[in-house]
Amino acid sequence: MSTPHYIGRFAPSPSGPLHFGSLIAALGSYLRAHSQQGQWLVRIEDIDPPREIIGASDDILRTLDAYGLHWHGSVLYQQQRYDAYQQQIDELIRHDQAYFCQCTRKIIQAHGGIYDGRCGLRQPRLTQGAIRIRNQANADNFNDLVQGEVTVDKRFAAEDFIIKRSDGLYAYQLAVVLDDAYQGITEVVRGCDLLEASCRQISLFSLLGLDAPQWLHLPLACAQKGFKLSKQNHAPAIDTKQPQASINAALSFLGQPEVDVDAVEVMLQQAVAQFSLDRIPKHKEIVLAATNLAT
């Protein structure tokens, strides 16, 4: 059955061009949203300037257009949301639901690798450093529409995690939760590299009194076991001149029937019509054949 008010999204970071792994996430989220007669939004997650490449945001949007993956409404850039992030952090600190921390990775590693909340107990309170949420929600499991029941280490789930970094940059966990709530996202479709992060986001939704979306994590495309295609690993950009082959390769990866049509818009219409959630492989990663790596 369709969901009348379904809102999904594709949220790439502008750290390089879209590659085949990115296309799987974009196409999977697009097909799911349109199969539910819902909206498909695009958000550029540009909160980490040191990792970003000049011009990458525009290149990503041009690539989506070339693939017929047209989004609803305006693109949301996370840099437009800094005031909202800071306002939420200020409120959390004011109510002692967040605190400053100056523990380094070396200190945390020396105490077992999981942060133990020590800075949250200090008196007087620190006024500089990273900012951590008092994680009283401790979400350690959730149901994923593809992966089934997902459970993470309870120590990881209970950790007071960072919501603003010591270098002044806003942490992904805070930004993604506030933006998903702001945009009314009802279901998050993305890769399995963010399975564990979902538990932290569920905790944050709960701590902020926000409704969490449903979760649907797609298998990761890997060059070899444990080595996913990524911009950081210099995965090749997908072809924007002849996107049909890449679209069909992504459909096949997602367990969907390929489409023998030349026009990408018609390809996508047919792909939406035959999309089935049950066909998506229930794997966390899939190793690609060498011939597919350049797709």
Q: How far is Cα 265 from Cα 270, in angstroms, rounded to an integer?
A: 9
| Residue 180: count of CB within 10 angstroms of its CB | 24
Number of residues that make up the chain: 295
Q: Where are the beta strands (DSSP E) in the chain?
A: 7-10, 39-44, 76-77, 98-101, 130-133, 141-144, 148-151, 162-164, 187-191, 214-218, 220-224, 227-228, 285-287
Per DSSP, the three-state class of 55 is coil
231 is known to lie in a ligand binding site: yes
> Under a CB-based contact definition with an 8 Å cutoff, are residues 75 and 69 in contact?
no
103 is known to lie in a ligand binding site: yes
| Residue 78: count of CB within 10 angstroms of its CB | 22
33 is known to lie in a ligand binding site: no
10 is known to lie in a ligand binding site: yes
172 is known to lie in a ligand binding site: yes
11 is known to lie in a ligand binding site: yes
Contacts of 134 (CB under 8 A, 6+ apart): 96, 97, 98, 99, 120, 160, 207
13 is known to lie in a ligand binding site: yes
Q: How far is Cα 32 from Cα 42, in angstroms, rounded to an integer?
A: 14
Q: How far is Cα 199 from Cα 201, in angstroms, rounded to an integer?
A: 5
258 is known to lie in a ligand binding site: no
45 is known to lie in a ligand binding site: yes
**Joined tokens for residue 4:** 């009348």
Per DSSP, the three-state class of 278 is helix
Binding residues for L-glutamate: 9-13, 45, 172, 190
Please enumerate, by residue number, every residue annotated as part of a binding site.
Answer: 9-13, 45, 101, 103, 115, 119, 172, 190, 231
Residue numbers in the known binding site for Zn(2+) are 101, 103, 115, 119
Binding residues for ATP: 231
